[in-house]
Amino acid sequence: MNHPVNAPLRAGFIGGGFMAAVHTRASRAARGRPTALASSTPERGEEAARSLGVERAEPDAHSLATAGDLDVVHVCSPNRLHTEHASAALAAGAHVICEKPLATTAADAERLVRAAREAGRVAAVPFVYRYHPMARQARFLVADGQLGTVLTLDAAYLQDWLLDPGDTNWRADPAAGGASRAFADIGSHLCDLVEFVSGQRIHRLAARTRTVFGRRAGTEVTNEDTAALLVELGNGALGTLLVSQLAPGRKNSLTFELHGTRQSVRFEQERPEELWIGGREGSRLLLRDPTAAAPDSARMSVLPPGHALGYQDAFTAFVTDVYSAVQGGHPEGMPTFADGLRAARLTEAVLASAAQDGTWIETPPETEDPA
Ligand code: SOE
């Protein structure tokens, strides 16, 4: 695709649900041009294109991926289809943003990493919590040594939208969502953020998982509702990670706390304008203020202090970085297919550990492209 310099990138979207709506808004805000959309049926595609203000609908994912006039394809289809849809878009020459989990097996995620490299295209995964300015600020505090050596971490990602056995969604169907649900869907975000902010890889983990409701709306469910992990980071730090989609009152509560030899830091996704800085002699809340922030945090702090930024803004910042990479930029900390592969490997380690009664599993730290 020959893209005229400075023309808005033409974006296509596979999927018509909640995430496709988030992606189209972010694309528009990142100066993209939402050009085409395909969903699970031609009728759903027409309806979603109309309601999301996308220029045209394509009858199915394949015709969208091969349309030929799209610079970037955003894959927001059910997890099991990611590999097929992302591969088709890369083969047609498009850059790709593929929802997490990038693939439902590490082997498929490896194939996608390889396909993206061979195609020479930008290939990104929306680990968007990296794009909260205060998450970047926390990362800076660690890298700058202000925490000292990280000793322990305490992190959780809790939701309640599947609390009732009558609640269901394609994610609860392993044929569409994959063998892991809660961990692949939200635990993957948590691990990505913990590794990104701490600058450390999870080297070993021990996990227990639980499927509380074996049936939802009359259908058998095998993937997990909850997961609890012990982790050991590369520097020996120990941590706990709790993941649940059955935590009453918790809507999208991603939190992490890192404890260093000098200070602690805590971030809460639902209060993204703040960081708690803990100290033995006193603790404080640090409020977002681009004038006093680390450059990489200030870069995505697009509004003045007190003008709250949130989830959609983080998403927009992510898509802005991807579009900049498509146009030759090298944005700092942009999550790629290699990070999606990392999450797929951690997910397999969680399932393997849980299947062996919570035994410790080594989780190789490399995220480089597989050979
Ligand atoms: C549902 O659990 C969901 O929409 C996830 O799929 C997203 O990745 C997360 O950001 C919010 O919750």
Give per-residue pLDDT as tens, 118-129.
Answer: 999 999 999 999
Q: Could you tell me if residue 4 is inside a domain?
A: no
Give per-residue pLDDT as tens, 303-329.
Answer: 999 999 999 999 999 999 999 999 999
Distance 185 CA to ligand 1 centre (A): 6
Asked whether residue 244 falls in the same domain as residue 271, the answer is yes
> What pLDDT score was predicted for residue 371?
46
Asked whether residue 119 falls in the same domain as residue 140, the answer is no
User: Does 210 have pLDDT greater than 70?
Assistant: yes
Name the band, by pLDDT with cuts 50, 70 and 90, for residue 229. Answer: very high
Q: How far apart are CA 100 and CA 184, in angstroms?
A: 8
Amino acid at 226: T
Which neighbouring-strand residues pair with 158?
244, 253
User: Does 217 have pLDDT greater than 90?
Assistant: no
Listed residues 92, 124, 156: the one ending a domain: 124
Q: What angle do CA 86, 129, 118 make, to 5 degrees?
A: 30
For 318, how many CA atoms within 13 A lie in the half-sphere containing its CB?
27
Q: How far apart are CA 82 and CA 126, in angstroms?
A: 13
Q: Which of 75, 77, 99, 185 to mutate to test the pocket of ligand 1 (most atoms within 8 A of CB)?
A: 185
> What pLDDT score was predicted for residue 4?
61
Rounded (10°) angle between helices 337-355 and 188-198: 120
According to DSSP, residue 203 is labeled E
User: Does 295 have pLDDT greater than 60?
Assistant: yes
Asked whether residue 222 falls in the same domain as residue 83, the answer is no
Q: Could you tell me if residue 322 is inside a domain?
A: no
Over residues 85-96, mean pLDDT: 98
CATH number reported for the structural domain that contains residue 272 in this entry: 3.30.360.10
> What pLDDT score was predicted for residue 364?
72
> What pLDDT score was predicted for residue 42?
98
Give per-residue pLDDT as tens, 92-123.
Answer: 999 999 999 999 999 999 999 999 999 999 99
Asked whether residue 348 falls in the same domain as residue 233, the answer is yes
Range of the domain at 112: 10-124
Counted domains in the chain: 2
Q: Is the pTM of this model over 0.85?
A: yes
Asked whether residue 94 falls in the same domain as residue 160, the answer is no
Q: How far apart are CA 293 and CA 363, in angstroms?
A: 33
> What pLDDT score was predicted for residue 218?
87
Distance 252 CA to ligand 1 centre (A): 8
Asked whether residue 120 falls in the same domain as residue 135, the answer is no
> What pLDDT score was predicted for residue 332?
98
Listed residues 64, 89, 124: the one ending a domain: 124
Asked whether residue 23 falls in the same domain as residue 120, the answer is yes
User: Does 291 have pLDDT greater than 70?
Assistant: yes
Atom number of ligand 1 nearest to Cα 100: 8
Asked whether residue 161 falls in the same domain as residue 261, the answer is yes
Listed residues 71, 90, 124: the one ending a domain: 124
